[in-house]
Amino acid sequence: MTAVDQLHSELDHPLDPNGMSYRGLAGVPLSLEPLNRKDFASDQEVRWCPGCGDYAVLAAFQGFMPELGIKRENTVIVSGIGCASRFPYYVDTYGMHSIHGRATAIATGVATAREDLAVFVITGDGDALSIGGNHLIHVLRRNVNLTILLFNNRIYGLTKGQYSPTSEIGKITKSTPMGSLDNPFNPVSLALGAEATFVARTIDSDRKHLTGVLKAAAAHRGSSLVEIYQNCPIFNDGAFDAIKDPATSADAIIPLNHGQPIRFGVDGHLGVVREPQTGAFSVVEVADVGESALVVHDAHLADPSFAFGLSRLTDAGVLHRAPIGIFRDAEAPTYDDEARNQVALAASLGNDDQALQTVINGGDTWTVR
């Protein structure tokens, strides 16, 4: 064990001045030298459309990676197919631009094989929720230790503008000239339905919030799903204007901060309450109920129902209001840790060539002379 590894194993949170615990990165060796943003930029020219929200996410990612303090070569980024999935080409770590929908499955193999790797998945609403929906719910239920950045622009960009599984009903696109018919997924609700242990939502244009959420996601041990509202200026421009426009954002963003009452709006006139009978959450005027009636956010509950209820405050149609922040951050065993534990436990029975020879010989042998 190197001195750095020693440090890593002894300290809960060796890096973050705010006292954040980086359990999610336990086992990943630390860099001996400080890294900076440039170390995480590859030599490839970034080729997204001008004004695309992906640029902001890439910049935030390259900005916060050095703060994690881990070795660059122990970082792996796996993506699927879609505009956002070009992301790995632009970050100078190990990376794989894989197949439509399958990044989470491939990343499961990477993360399970190697504890010493920090694994990130880059995906989009079509990639993760349509063609890759099955793999997404299964990686979440298994709680594989990796961080998923789900770029949600509510449209298919790379195939030039068809509606996506997060597009609002009635969406007029090339493939739905009379309006889309299917009810959209709420990615946060879906993830919580699969009992994901870390689920958050953030916005491409809010660098500070985005960075904070990504760090918390990387710090979490287990599957972390971060839905990033990301604007597509070409095919779905303005989809998130209500929460991005300073004129409307105060009443549109329901901020989730652990341990604090959920209160927002201009002068904090709005708040969230919970119906005692149904458990459903709703937005009310604080003046009507009094501050003491407001729900206090608890991201660490073992039961995902509370976080799921909060996720239902998101508009399913055109977005006017949505909770933003960390819905859930709960501890649970991870698939990859447990799988490695089984291998290690079994290995204690003896795993040399002689042991294998004994297995292959089997019980019933006979000798021909």
Partner 1 sequence: MKQVSTLDRVVIRFAGDSGDGMQLTGDRFTSDSAAFGNDISTLPNFPAEIRAPAGTLPGVSSFQLHFANYDIMTPGDRPDVLVAMNPAALKANIDDLPRGGVIIADSADFTKRNLAKVGYDSDPLSDGSLDNYQVHALDLTGMTVEAVKEFGLTRKDATRAKNMFALGLLSWLYHRPTEGTLNFLTTKFASKPNIRDANITAFKAGYAFGETTEVFAVTYEVAPAPMPSGKYRQISGNLALAYGLITASKKAGLPLFLGAYPITPASDVLHELSKHKRFGVTTFQAEDEIAGIGAALGASFAGHLGVTTTSGPGAVLKSETIGLAVAIELPLIICDIQRAGPSTGMPTKTEQADLLQVMFGRNGEAPVPVLAAQSPADCFPTALEAVQIAIKYRTPVVILSDGYIANGAEPWLVPDLSDIPAIDPQLASGTNATDKAGQPIFMPYLRDPQTLARPWAIPGTAGLEHRIGGIEKARDTGAVSYDPANHEEMVRTRQAKINGIVQDIPDLIVDDPADADGQHAQVIVLGWGSTYGAIVAAARRVRKSGRQIAYTHLRHLNPFPANLGDILRSYQRVIVPEMNMGQLALLLRAKYLVDVRSYSRVRGLPISLSELARDLEAEIDQLEGSNP
Interface pick for partner 1 out of 30, 56, 76, 140 (rule CB under 8 A): 76
* Stretch binding partner 1 (CB under 8 A), from 247-255, 261-269, 285-293, 334-342: 334-342
| Residue 362 in contact with partner 1, rule: CB under 8 A | yes
| Residue 46 in contact with partner 1, rule: CB under 8 A | no
Shortest approach of partner 1 to residue 300 CB, angstroms? Answer: 28
Interhelix angle 133-142/103-113, nearest 10 degrees:
30
Shortest approach of partner 1 to residue 131 CB, angstroms? Answer: 10
What is the Cα–Cα distance from 71 to 91, expressed in whole angstroms?
14
User: What three-state secondary structure class fits 208?
Assistant: helix
| Residue 343 in contact with partner 1, rule: CB under 8 A | yes
Q: Which residues contact 142 (CB under 8 A, 6 or more apart)?
A: 108, 223, 334, 335
* DSSP states along 220-251: SSSEEEEEEE---TTTSTTTTHHHHSTTTHHH
| Residue 70 in contact with partner 1, rule: CB under 8 A | no
What is the Cα–Cα distance from 136 to 350, expressed in whole angstroms?
36
Size of the site for partner 1 (CB under 8 A): 62
Q: Are 144 and 223 in contact (CB under 8 A)?
A: yes
Shortest approach of partner 1 to residue 180 CB, angstroms? Answer: 26
Shortest approach of partner 1 to residue 82 CB, angstroms? Answer: 13
Q: What six digits make up the tokens of 84?
A: 């956002």
If the CB atoms of residues 72 and 207 are measured against partner 1, the closer one turns out to be 72
| Residue 116 in contact with partner 1, rule: CB under 8 A | yes
If the CB atoms of residues 2 and 305 are measured against partner 1, the closer one turns out to be 2
* Stretch binding partner 1 (CB under 8 A), from 62-70, 111-119, 231-239, 301-309: 111-119
Interface pick for partner 1 out of 48, 57, 71, 192 (rule CB under 8 A): 71
| Residue 89 in contact with partner 1, rule: CB under 8 A | yes
Q: What separation in angstroms does the CA of 352 have from each of 114, 320, 344, 348, 361?
A: 21, 62, 14, 11, 14
| Residue 349 in contact with partner 1, rule: CB under 8 A | yes
| Residue 346 in contact with partner 1, rule: CB under 8 A | yes
First to last CA, the chain: 51
| Residue 356 in contact with partner 1, rule: CB under 8 A | yes
User: What three-state secondary structure class fits 323?
Assistant: strand
What is the Cα–Cα distance from 322 to 320, expressed in whole angstroms?
7
| Residue 33 in contact with partner 1, rule: CB under 8 A | no
If the CB atoms of residues 133 and 265 are measured against partner 1, the closer one turns out to be 133
Question: DSSP alpha helices (H): ranges in 27-132?
Answer: 53-68, 103-113, 125-126
Q: Are 100 and 134 in contact (CB under 8 A)?
A: no
If the CB atoms of residues 112 and 167 are measured against partner 1, the closer one turns out to be 112
Q: Are 291 and 265 in contact (CB under 8 A)?
A: no
Q: What six digits make up the tokens of 130?
A: 């349509």
Interface pick for partner 1 out of 62, 64, 70, 108 (rule CB under 8 A): 108
What is the Cα–Cα distance from 159 to 153, expressed in whole angstroms?
13
**Mask for 195-224, x = binds partner 1 (CB under 8 A):** ------------------------------
Phi, psi of 300 (to 5 degrees): -100, 10
* Stretch binding partner 1 (CB under 8 A), from 155-163, 188-196, 230-238, 346-354: 346-354
Sheet holding 281-285, edge to edge: 263-264, 270-274, 281-285
**Mask for 133-152, x = binds partner 1 (CB under 8 A):** -xx--x--------------
If the CB atoms of residues 40 and 235 are measured against partner 1, the closer one turns out to be 40
What is the Cα–Cα distance from 316 to 265, expressed in whole angstroms?
20
| Residue 2 in contact with partner 1, rule: CB under 8 A | no
- What residues make contact with partner 1 under the rule CB under 8 A? 42, 44, 71-76, 78-79, 81, 88-89, 92-99, 102, 105-114, 116-117, 134-135, 138, 339-340, 342-343, 345-351, 353, 355-357, 359-362, 364-369
